[in-house]
Amino acid sequence: MARREAAVPRGPYNSAPIFMASAEGATLEDVDDIAISTSPEGSAVSTSATARRAVVSALREQLEKHLHLCFAVHSVRKLHRARGKLNALTPGKGPKKTIIVNTGAEAVENAIKIARAYTKRPAVICLKMPFMAAPC
């Protein structure tokens, strides 16, 4: 923790003062050999597939083929298949399109770009609501 505090600015926050050494399923083990069982809500869901054999196997298989998956550089066939399945599952009539992004910020940024392109308008209006913690 002392090394972290010396090397990392105060802005980035960790909700738990632990340092992961390994994980399997929803159980994490820290560097002090303390096992921690995560709960299935919030960001903890990202640990549900940690070290599962099928997931690790799929990752290894992909790594042996190629690692660079940036859609902005080139297309990836499996992502196109996933988009097709998502479009087929989405309710409603008419054509559908799917964009897969990494973060909520990237999703919002792309939603604004899509709205501007669709409406042909140069900007969007952002309102600060009383319940919002941060300004727009």
Q: What is the pLDDT of residues 83-92, one digit of tens each?
A: 999 999 999 9
**Whether residue 73 is found in the same domain as residue 63:** no
At 30, is the secondary structure helix, strand, or coil? strand
Q: Which domain holds residue 59?
A: 1-67
**Stated pTM of the model:** 0.48
Structure confidence by residue, pLDDT tens digits, 46-56: 555 566 778 78
Provide the number of structural domains found in the chain: 2
Q: Are residues 77 and 51 in the same domain?
A: no
CA angle 48, 9, 108 (to 5 degrees): 55
Domain end point (choices 67, 98, 123): 67
Report how far residue 83's alpha carbon sits from residue 89's, in angstroms, rounded to the nearest whole number: 10
Among 67, 82, 104, the domain-final residue is: 67
